[in-house]
Amino acid sequence: MSKRFEDVTELDVTATPEQVWDAIATGPGIDSWFMGRSEVEAGSVVRTAFGGYTPDQPVIAWDPPRRLAYGSEPGPDGRFVAYEFLVEGRAGGSTVIRAVTSGFLPGDDWEAEYEAMTKGNAMFFRTLAEYLNHFAGRSARPITVFGPPVRDWAAAWRSLFAAISLTGDAVRLAVPGLPATDGVVYYRNPHTIGIRTPDALYRFLRGFGGQLIAAHHVFDGTDTEAAWQRWLDTLHSS
């Protein structure tokens, strides 16, 4: 079995179309809300390095600041994923973004992959809105660390929520080696949780490969990757 899919997300943001374009069509912009590290050759290709892979994603449409589309080349089995962003300015300086994810997933295990992708995409697009509503015009340092494989996800989430002192939507982040900070949950689903503080967007995701991933965006430029890796390893072993 296999699946051809198209998922649509609409976002209303308090940013201009030009600010949205900077967020979706430049390397520093994508680094501030998506995953890994990205670079963009205007009108040509988008590259995102994540988990040891840096695929070229050719640009299909480039019409600043209204439309951007790019996607992976189909593999030997037909697999591909493409992204399209349609940007419409509204009165008062707000903007509507229509984000379309489409593609083809081959094989009998497409359901698990599709579930992980859709839940991850929901977090990424909600992070895009959070970035544009609270940090537009700023560039973040992306921090990505992978924990050990998880066998019991219910226990892993309980340990994480206890470690971040989650109370309702309020969070207290106290990572050894880093200043403690308070935050608020801006998005949550069974595979992910996203937290906003005054200087960062912190995300924890259930990776498709079975690992808990910390994928953060730090706007003060501090390199905190080593501290987060030590914390994630300790959290998993505790």
Give the helix/strand (H/E) hosting 197: strand 192-197
> For residue 24, how many C-alpha atoms fall within 13 Å in the half-sphere facing its CB?
33
Question: Taking Cα atoms as reference points, which of 73, 184, 168 lies closest to residue 134?
Answer: 184
Domain positions in the chain: 3-134, 141-237
26-71 pLDDT, tens digit each: 999 999 999 999 999 999 999 999 888 888 999 999 999 999 999 9
Mean pLDDT by 10 residues, the chain (238 residues): 92 97 98 96 95 90 98 91 97 94 91 91 97 97 94 93 96 94 97 97 92 96 93 79
87-111 pLDDT, tens digit each: 999 988 899 999 999 999 998 888 9
Query: Matching CATH topology for 3-134 and 141-237?
Result: yes
Beta-bridge partner residues of 201 = 196, 217
**Domain 141-237 belongs in CATH node 3.30.530.20:** yes
* Direct distance between the N- and C-terminal alpha carbons of the chain, in angstroms, rounded to an integer: 40
CA 70 to chain centre: 17
Chain length of the chain? 238
Q: Are 63 and 55 in contact (CB under 8 A)?
A: no
Instruction: Name 28's Cβ contacts closer than 8 Å, sequence gap at least 6.
Output: 139
CA pair distance 178, 121, nearest whole angstrom: 29
> Which tokens is 103 given?
């593609």
| Residue 187, SS3 per DSSP | strand
CA pair distance 153, 212, nearest whole angstrom: 9
What is residue 55's predicted lDDT score, i.e. its pLDDT? 87
> Which tokens is 216 given?
């953060």
Q: What CATH number is given for 3-134 in this structure?
A: 3.30.530.20
Question: Taking Cα atoms as reference points, which of 211, 181, 216, 217 lies closest to residue 198?
Answer: 181
